[in-house]
Structure 1
Amino acid sequence: MSSEQDQPKKKNAFTIIKDDSTDGHGGYGAGTVSLENMSPVIVDPAEAQAYVDMDVMHARSKVERRVKIIPNRDEVPNGKLYWFVWVNVERNENGPFYAGVAGSEFIVDRSIKRAYKSMPQHVTHMEKSLKGKIVVEHMDEPSKKVLKDFLVDFDEDMWKNSTDELKQALPE
């Protein structure tokens, strides 16, 4: 089985502002939340890498497969830490930028086929990202650095166009 590093580097695109289904018509779908501008980024601090994985949206990412998700962190004492970071992209007069960024913990132990995930935390962080909030203060510094490097490398113009709040929340 090959690792992520063995595979060629893919440059997945962040979703940038698509059509708004709630354009005032008031019909079916009015008032629903659109996830079209959101992309989940998996941060792997142990390997110092990050990548977009849209399968996280449906709990089908490679990291989540073939393990039982449990809500108790204590049952996964020797797990490997990942961060599922919900990145929302918006557009202003200067173009697209990283508007909302919120990281949620995911710990997996393949040896016992168990993983810890707090669904309430993931849902809350996804919602905060959609609202343009920056929620990364609970992430460890190496993970924040990997995330920042990924966002800058992915699209330096989007990074430059992002808020000072995001730039201050992620280390140099």
Structure 2
Amino acid sequence: MENNEKPVGKKQIALNIVSGKSKHKMGFGAGSIELNNVSPVIIDRGEAILDIGAMHGKSKAERRMRFSANREDVPNGRQVWIVWIAVERTEEGQCYAGATACEMWIDEEERRGWKILADHVNKLDAALKRKVILDELGLEEKRLLKELLISHNEEWWNNSPDELKNALNVTE
């Protein structure tokens, strides 16, 4: 491929790689949050996909929506989940270290949505702190998430903590 040619096809989204930078920062930015180690997964309409747009409230499901904190404003919405996945490098290698799920409801016809932004921020923070909070997900959502994580990188899945594996252990 020549330098002036561009690759054909969609750019594939991947979970962020853990940076090798020191976590012990001093001075300016000492209290900043490192988001390079977290990626959002959207579970919607029987599919789990990586959607980096969710980092800024601009996932495919969230685009062109007016959000309300009042659930009654979206009576005909469908349930959509954002799952924050934190990736970490351990002695065994990379792993999925934290995972938290947040709910939202979307009504595309009315272009209205419901979500609690504070819940999304708190769950993102919990995932970064290597917590696993997936109790609210149904069996199908857990199955879809597990399949996505394994298909994305089975080695990372195998290196992941038992807490995550047990939370996604779906038996039908």
Q: Structure 1 length normalisation: TM-score?
A: 0.88
- 1:22 touches 1:29 (CA, 8 Å); kept in 2? no
* Residues in 1 aligned to 2:10 and 2:133: alpha-carbon distance in whole angstroms: 27
* Residues in 2 aligned to 1:87 and 1:15: alpha-carbon distance in whole angstroms: 10
Structure 2 counterparts to residues 46-85 of structure 1, below 5 A: 46=45, 48-85=46-83
Instruction: Tell me how far 1:10 sits from its aligned partner.
Output: 6.4
Counterpart AA for 1:37: N
Residue 29 of structure 1 corresponds to which residue in structure 2?
29
Structure 2 counterparts to residues 12-161 of structure 1, below 5 A: 12-20=13-21, 22-24=23-25, 26-44=26-44, 46=45, 48-161=46-159
Where does structure 1 lack aligned partners over 5 or more consecutive residues? 1-7
- 2:48 touches 2:144 (CA, 8 Å); kept in 1? yes
* Residues in 2 aligned to 1:9 and 1:103: alpha-carbon distance in whole angstroms: 27
Instruction: Tell me how far 1:49 sits from its aligned partner.
Output: 1.2
Give me the identity figure in percent. 40
Counterpart AA for 2:18: I
Specify the SS of the correspondent of 2:63. coil
* Residues in 1 aligned to 2:70 and 2:150: alpha-carbon distance in whole angstroms: 34
Higher Cα Rg, which structure: 2
Residue 3 of structure 2 corresponds to which residue in structure 1?
none
RMSD (CA atoms): 1.7
Q: Structure 2 length normalisation: TM-score?
A: 0.88
